[in-house]
Copies of this chain bind each other. A is one copy, B any other.
Amino acid sequence: MHKKEQVTVKTISLKEPILGENIELANRNRQFFESHKICVLNIISSPGSGKTTLLVETLNALKQTLCCAVIEGDQQTDNDARRIAATDVPVVQINTGGTCHLDAGMIGRAMENLPLDGIDVLFIENVGNLICPAEFDLGENAKVVLMSITEGEEKPIKYPLIFHLAKTLVLTKMDLMPHLRFDLDLCIRNFRQINTAAEILTTSAFTHEGLQQWLDWIFRQRKLAAGS
Q: Are A47 and B79 in contact (CB under 8 A)?
A: no
Q: A204: shortest Cβ distance to chain B, in Å?
A: 12
Residue of B with least CB distance to A53 = B152
**What number of A residues sit within 8 Å (CB to CB) of B?**
69
A18 to B161 alpha-carbon distance, docked (Å): 23
A27 at the interface (CB under 8 A from B): no
Find residues 60-101 in chain A having any chain B CB closer than 8 Å to their own CB.
Answer: 74-79, 81-82, 85, 88-100
A44 to B8 alpha-carbon distance, docked (Å): 20
A42 to B187 alpha-carbon distance, docked (Å): 28
A130 to B135 alpha-carbon distance, docked (Å): 17
| Chain B residue contacts of A109, Cβ below 8 A | 7, 9
Contact with A130, one of B88, B96, B129 (Cβ below 8 angstroms):
B129
Q: Are A100 and B7 in contact (CB under 8 A)?
A: no
A5 at the interface (CB under 8 A from B): yes
A185 to B32 alpha-carbon distance, docked (Å): 45
Q: Are B75 and A160 in contact (CB under 8 A)?
A: yes
Name A residues whose Cβ lies closer than 8 Å to a Cβ of B.
1-11, 13-14, 18, 46-48, 74-79, 81-82, 85, 88-100, 105-106, 109-110, 113-115, 127-132, 135, 147-148, 150-152, 154-155, 157-161, 173, 176, 179-180
